[in-house]
Structure 1
Amino acid sequence: MRHQHLLPFLGTLAAALATDEQIALQCRESAPQNAEVTEIAFAGSGCPAGYAPGHTLSDPSTLILPKSGFTAETGKNKSYLDARANCQILVKLKYPSGWQFSVSKADYYGRVQVPEGMTGVSKTTYYFTGDSSDISYNNTIEGPYDGSYFRNDRFGEKNSLWSPCGSEAMLNINTEVRLSPIGTDQTAVIGVNTQETVEISWRTCG
């Protein structure tokens, strides 16, 4: 499991731009040209009512998803169920045999307000259906804190999470926010917003 510390929103975004452009160029130069999304589904308490994710690849290296956002809260008149929320998106990709893919980058941001003694967590877990391995990135924010956070999920060269070497795979992206301890009257909130693009890497396999 991988973790990232809290980072300033604007500084992190600016520092990542050049690297992201290089990654995207490399992906486009080495990718199957007829990959397509054939199915998409979603589940979770944080998925908005009527939420209908799009399912397109703008090019072989970019998966387009609609933006979404949700929050977890504690406080008076709040149920312990309100202290956690998640939205899991399942995307089935069809691609030529001899190829496999992985996520290369995704970005998340949000607001958090936690008093002393409380903790807020924003986390995303990536895995393929039928594979026991996964990779997670998170922000763990200790109170007192009142402000923004930003997270760059970057899968480097040592990334071990790849789809099966075949012609079809189901990618799962599960994003959650949670607060602890639960069952408290203290007011706290943590929210997360997802960006609309998820970058995809490809490689050939034997």
Structure 2
Amino acid sequence: MKVFGSIVKFVAPLLVLGAAAAHAEERNPVPSEPITIKKIQYNGTGCPLGTVAKNISEDKTAFTLTFSEFVAEAGPGISLSAGRKNCVATLVLDVPAGWQYSIGSFYFRGFMALDKGIRAEHSASYFLEGQGKTGTFSSRQSGPYENDYVFNDNVGISSAVWSPCGVERALNINTSIRVSNTNSRQYPNAQGLITNDSIDGQITQVWGLTWRRC
């Protein structure tokens, strides 16, 4: 496999978000109490029970999930089901009374090793329990490629998706990785894999958070 020297990145427009956040703060005050994470649960083919290490910061405003079996792979003798894995992380958040929010920034790290003819895809969706609107992110990479990757999503849930007032609703993050041979006739022996090593989330009142009173 040919090795590429650069890290694949997806970077959302921070300056636009910062300006929007600053403008929102000019129009409306922000709550004095921070939003906090009460607990994190997970489920999916990429995160069987006991394969995820969870770490929540002491102030409960940041979290890290580290996976040991979140790997999708394709190649001769490998089943089609091994080519797609997903994990749904469910966060129960404590929001100050009288406020609604849209949120956040997340970071996805992993590794890709793709022969020519192999394509990998990393996608994520963010949604609040009981609401139909969803924020999404996706990126594709075709082989030959071999390197670590970092995807930085500073958009999270769209600013139009607001948490409900006075009701606790979980925030769900559905992360999916997929790898497939897009030209098996020409490259029948091509192989590839993509791993998702960790998801970092930073919940702050600076980037990507918009507040309004109920």
Q: Does TM-score exceed 0.5, indicating one fold?
A: yes
Offset of residue 39 of structure 1: 4.1
Aligned residues of 1:97 and 1:167 also touching (Cα < 8 A): no
**Which range moved further: 143-152 or 74-83?**
143-152
Q: Does 1:46 align with 2:53?
A: no
Tell me the amino acid that sits aligned with residue 103 of structure 2.
Answer: V
Tell me the amino acid that sits aligned with residue 148 of structure 1.
Answer: D
Partner of 2:164: 164
- Residue 193 of structure 1 is aligned with which of 186, 191, 197? 197
Partner of 2:117: 117
Across the two proteins, how many residue pairs are aligned to each other?
A: 190
- Structure 1 residues 158 and 133: CA distance shift in structure 2, 3 A: closer
Offset of residue 52 of structure 1: 5.7
SS of the counterpart of 1:168? coil
Offset of residue 167 of structure 1: 4.0
- Aligned-partner Cα distance in 2 for 1:157–1:126: 6
SS of the counterpart of 1:91? strand
Partner of 1:83: 83
Offset of residue 109 of structure 1: 2.1
Aligned residues of 2:83 and 2:179 also touching (Cα < 8 A): yes
Aligned residues of 1:112 and 1:146 also touching (Cα < 8 A): yes
- Aligned-partner Cα distance in 1 for 2:137–2:147: 20
Partner of 1:63: 62
- Structure 1 residues 40 and 10: CA distance shift in structure 2, 3 A: closer
Aligned residues of 1:94 and 1:169 also touching (Cα < 8 A): no
- Structure 1 residues 50 and 96: CA distance shift in structure 2, 3 A: same
Offset of residue 12 of structure 1: 7.8
Partner of 2:127: 127
Tell me the amino acid that sits aligned with residue 124 of structure 2.
Answer: T
Q: Deviations over 1:83-119 (max 9, x none)?
A: 0111111111232332123332111122212222221
Tell me the amino acid that sits aligned with residue 67 of structure 2.
Answer: S
- Structure 1 residues 12 and 119: CA distance shift in structure 2, 3 A: closer
Aligned residues of 1:96 and 1:167 also touching (Cα < 8 A): no
Looking at secondary structure, tell me which structure has more strand per residue.
1
Tell me the amino acid that sits aligned with residue 64 of structure 2.
Answer: L
- Aligned-partner Cα distance in 2 for 1:143–1:168: 44
Aligned residues of 1:90 and 1:173 also touching (Cα < 8 A): yes
Q: Deviations over 1:149-198 (max 9, x none)?
A: 22110118973233223342210011111012489653111112224433
- Aligned-partner Cα distance in 1 for 2:67–2:156: 26
TM-score (norm 1): 0.74
Q: Deviations over 1:49-98 (max 9, x none)?
A: 414664746447x2323333521001233111110111111111232332
Listed as ranges, the gaps of 5+ residues in structure 1 are: 1-7
TM-score (norm 2): 0.71
- Aligned-partner Cα distance in 2 for 1:156–1:30: 19
Larger Rg: 2
Aligned residues of 2:113 and 2:145 also touching (Cα < 8 A): yes
Aligned residues of 2:106 and 2:156 also touching (Cα < 8 A): no
